[in-house]
Amino acid sequence: MARYISLISFTEQGLKTIKDWDKRVAAGRQGLAIRITKQLP
């Protein structure tokens, strides 16, 4: 099984708001799903 290592660097502001990361990811996924369903016939 392949394993991937991700090296991420955050800015100071990013570190302050890291606790909201999961909420932003969920909102992004939901927004993407809405856009995709609007484009489908």
pLDDT band at 2 (very low <50, low <70, confident <90, very high): confident
Q: State how far the alpha carbon of 1 is from the alpha carbons of 4, 5, in Å.
A: 10, 13
pLDDT tens digits, 7-41: 888 888 888 888 888 888 888 888 877 766 776 66
- For residue 13, the model assigns a pLDDT of 87
pLDDT of amino acid 10: 82
- Quick check: pTM over 0.75? no
Nearest residue to 38 (alpha-carbon basis) of 8, 30, 3? 30
pLDDT reported for residue 40: 62
What is the structure's pLDDT at 39? 67
Q: What's at 3, amino acid-wise?
A: R
